[in-house]
Amino acid sequence: MILFSLSNKLPNSSELTTDNPMWRLYAEYGKGHVAEFTLGIVATTLSRLSGLLPPFILGLAIDAIFLNQREFHLPLFPAEWIPQTSTGQLWLSIAIIALSFFVGATFSWLEGWGWNRFAQGVQHALRVDTYDRMQLLDMGFFDDKQTGELMSILNNDVNQLETFLNDGMSSALRIVVMVAGIGLLLFWLNPALALVALLPVPLLALFTYLFVRIIQPKYAAMRASVGALNSRLENNLGGVRVIKTETAEEYESDRVEDASQDYYDANWDAIRTRITFFPGLSLLTGIGFAITFAVGGFWLLSGPPGPFSGPLEPGEFVTFIVLSQQFIWPMAQFGQIINIYQRAKASSVRVFDLMNERGTLDESAGAPDLVVPDGTVKYDDVSFGYGEETVISNVDLQAERGDTIALVGPTGAGKSTVLKLLLRMYDVDEGAIRIDGTDIRDVNLRSLRRSIGYVSQDPFLFYGSVKENIAYGTFDASGEEIVSAAKAAEAHEFVVNLPDGYDTMVGERGMKLSGGQRQRLSIARTILKNPAILVLDEATSHVDTETEALIQRSLARLVREKTTFAIAHRLSTIKEADEIAVLDEGRIVERGTHDDLLALDGLYANLWRVQAGEIESLPRDFIERAIRRRAQVEGVEEVGGRSENADAQADGGE
Ligand SMILES: Nc1ncnc2c1ncn2[C@@H]1O[C@H](COP(=O)(O)OP(=O)(O)OP(=O)(O)O)[C@@H](O)[C@H]1O
């Protein structure tokens, strides 16, 4: 198949690399938020540095003002501005401490503002972009993916990145500033005691490293189990009707319990490691604190111990103790940051993999709009397969404006596939489909799909009002146009009887409406769209005879002056079609009008007689083929030979 390049939308291949997804995250999405990013860095640095001042001033005040053991000297502060009296110096110290807290609070606010704006901005742009690109992919992609999986990328993974961009980045920078700032200050004050105070650092690094190594696989197991649990819940919510009708509540409760238990076990395993880590870290830092206190204490009491030399003032000692505490705790966050980073990296790989996903439809950048002056649709020797296996073989069809071509045939024969090809959900492998002489691959997809109205057997309604659902796709329709479309679709009467008329909210997927009502709303939607070509995929399959009559009446109005393709199992609905093409195993095996096909006395005639009640059952060879086909469709291995099922089917008819 041809590789696609929705080239005006997707980046070129050099951009499409997930080698370093985190880098790509910053380069592509961070560049629109440089100001916030810079503000985050500057504010974090200044807020942390200002936090170092109070312990320093405290030590200085103790030594110079209270104990009078050294001179009141402030680096970078003009000597002539320092008061000579102790009271003056105390006031200056108070002012500097108060100011540093004020400055710290201000920068801390700016820090939060900068990082949050940055992270939210990137998250928003990334989510919208990922969704936009995913939406452009062809149906083959969505056939292969689970909704839960895609939701998890668009939600959890994007949120995970936001956590890193915000908390992760600011914490990492905080560590750098604190380690560098405090380390330098301690060494400047007393290099020997600084070494003692920093003694636990390598141990902390090692301990953290081990923690990350141990916890990572546990987190991975936890993520896998939460994914499994989500999929189970999503599946069950989607299939709640089947659960009820099959009274499978107990069975599903057990399955949910199992999935939840797996999550519990995996989570508890990770929690056990995590809750051991932090007390362990406390212990290490506590030991470091005790050693610094012991060395400093004895130094003060009886001069430099062991290999140490030089003076140590009590105030200096206090500064040391306070700063070394401030130094150790950011280190404790180190493991957490690595953890956030690893998770973010895994998420960014998933997000960018989704963005790099390529479909199989080829739409060149400047493809012209489809123009449909006559509405002639021609399938020219079309063959197609979803994978290796051919599903549609050498199909030829031609329809003019006003014609209705019906596709009938057993299940799995390829009827829906033939019509999906017209909508270009997939590209044909061989042959071509032309509308008014133009190959549908040569026009832009949007204009093609705008020209075709599709009424499916199970129409999808969005959560929203009846009015919004009718106008879906024709967003600028006026109120009158909506009402007149609903009238033409025989929907107006039931709509006005709804609690809020056209403003009634239909439940999720239109569940508050009956199948026939949903169908009529979808026909109204198509009438409003007024396309040149119509595709009716078993439009009346789920409704009772009375509703069918109503829908048929509305469809009859709809198909006038249009080129129509209709799939039907209930043959009475397509009896009047201009041509009926009978598909079997992807080939057209019979074609003609209803009368032609009855005269032919083949597959169609047999199907018709069963449905009309003229014969009790289909011929045995037909049933056997149907069973084989169904087994293929459902992926069930055929149980050899002519089975009892064949007899049962033959007795009951199709
Ligand atoms: N998305 C898909 N991926 C792979 N195979 C598919 C896909 N959709 C349909 N098929 C297969 O293609 C064949 C034709 O399916 P199709 O839905 O076109 O038949 P149909 O005649 O419309 O059947 P039905 O009357 O049951 O709706 C079947 O074997 C089916 O299993």
Tens-digit pLDDT profile for residues 321-362: 888 877 766 766 777 787 788 788 888 888 998 888 877 676
Amino acid identity at 310: G
Q: For residue 294, is pLDDT > 80?
A: yes
589 C-alpha vs ligand 1 centroid, how far in Å? Answer: 17
Distance CA(529)–CA(539), nearest Å, equals: 17
CB 2 within 8 A of CB 360: yes
Does residue 622 carry a pLDDT above 80?
no
Q: Chain-wide mean pLDDT for the chain?
A: 83
Ligand 1 lined by 413 (C-beta under 6 Å): yes
Tokens of 416: 């829906």
Cβ–ligand 1 contact at 504 (below 6 Å): no
Residue 428 has what pLDDT?
92
Give the residue-averaged pLDDT of 602-630: 71
Residue 395's beta-bridge partner residues? 382
For 628-633, the CB contacts below 8 A with 24+ separation are 629/410, 629/411, 629/412, 629/413, 629/585, 630/411, 630/412, 632/412, 633/411, 633/412
**pLDDT(555) > 80:** no
Residue whose CA is at the smallest distance from ligand 1 atom 25:
411
Q: Report the CATH architecture of 1-190+343-364.
A: Up-down Bundle (1.20)
Ligand 1 close to Cβ of residue 415 (< 6 A): yes
- The DSSP code sequence of 13-41 is TTT---SSHHHHIIIIIIGGGHHHHHHHH
Residue nearest to atom 2 of ligand 1 (CA): 386
Low-confidence winner among 95-99, 167-171, 383-387, 633-637 (lowest mean pLDDT):
633-637
Verify whether ligand 1 is closer than 6 Å to residue 411 (CB atom): yes
pLDDT interval class at 639 (50, 70, 90): very low
CA distance 512 to 495: 12
Reply yes or no on whether the pLDDT at 654 is more than 60. no
- Concatenated DSSP letters of 365-416: TTPPPP--SS--EEEEEEEE-SSSS-SEEEEEEEE-TT-EEEEE-STTSSHH
Distance CA(373)–CA(401), nearest Å, equals 10
State the Cα–Cα distance between residues 224 and 365, nearest whole angstrom.
40
471 alpha carbon to ligand 1 midpoint, in Å? 30
pLDDT band at 410 (very low <50, low <70, confident <90, very high): confident
Enter the tokens of residue 32. 């629109």
pLDDT, residue 646, reads 37
Q: To test the ligand 1 pocket, which listed residue (360, 417, 574, 588) has its Cβ within 8 A of the most ligand atoms?
A: 417
CA of 360 to the centre of ligand 1 (A): 19
Indicate which atom in ligand 1 lies nearest the CA of residue 387. 4
Confidence band for 445, pLDDT divided at 50, 70 and 90:
confident
For residue 33, give both structure tokens.
Answer: 């938020």
Residue 632 has a pLDDT of 59
460-530 folds as Rossmann fold (3.40.50)
Taking the centre of ligand 1 as the mean of its atom positions, its distance from the CA of residue 452, in whole angstroms, is: 21
| Residue 100, number of CB atoms within 10 A of its CB | 18
Q: Closest residue (by CA) to atom 3 of ligand 1?
A: 386
Q: Which atom of ligand 1 is nearest to the CA of 143?
A: 1
Residue range 234-288, pLDDT digits in tens: 888 888 888 888 788 999 999 999 999 999 999 999 999 989 888 888 888 888 8
141 vs 439: which has the higher pLDDT: 439
Q: Is the CB of 417 under 6 A from ligand 1?
A: yes
The predicted-structure confidence for 29-88, as pLDDT tens digits, reads as follows: 988 899 999 999 999 999 989 998 999 999 999 988 888 888 888 887 888 888 888 899
In the predicted structure, residue 499 carries a pLDDT above the cut 60: yes
Least confident stretch, 264-268, 445-449, 476-480, 570-574: 570-574
Quick one: pLDDT band at residue 406, thresholds 50, 70, 90?
very high
| Distant-in-sequence, close-in-space partners of 67: CB < 8 Å, separation ≥ 6 | 313, 314, 315
Instruction: Could you please state the CATH topology (level 3) that the domain comprising 373-451+531-615 is classified under.
Output: Rossmann fold (3.40.50)
Q: Taking Cα atoms as reference points, which of 57, 83, 291 lies closest to residue 195?
A: 291
Could you tell which of 419, 454, 633, 636 is best to mutate to test the pocket of ligand 1, judged by most ligand atoms within 8 Å of the CB? 633
pLDDT value of position 626: 62
Half-sphere exposure of 447 (CA within 13 A, CB side): 16
Q: Ligand 1 center to residue 566 CA distance, Å? A: 16
- Site to substitute for ligand 1 among 137, 384, 391, 427, most atoms within 8 A of C-beta: 391
Can you tell me which atom of ligand 1 is nearest the CA of 392? 14
The rounded Å distance from CA 417 to ligand 1 centre is 6
Q: For residue 392, how far is its CA from the centre of ligand 1 (angstroms)?
A: 10
- d(C-alpha 628, C-alpha 645), whole Å: 11
> Ligand 1 within 6 A of 391 CB?
yes
CB neighbour list of residue 458: distance below 8 Å, 6 or more residues apart:
515, 542
Round to whole Å and give the CA distance between 47 and 108.
6
pLDDT band at 615 (very low <50, low <70, confident <90, very high): low
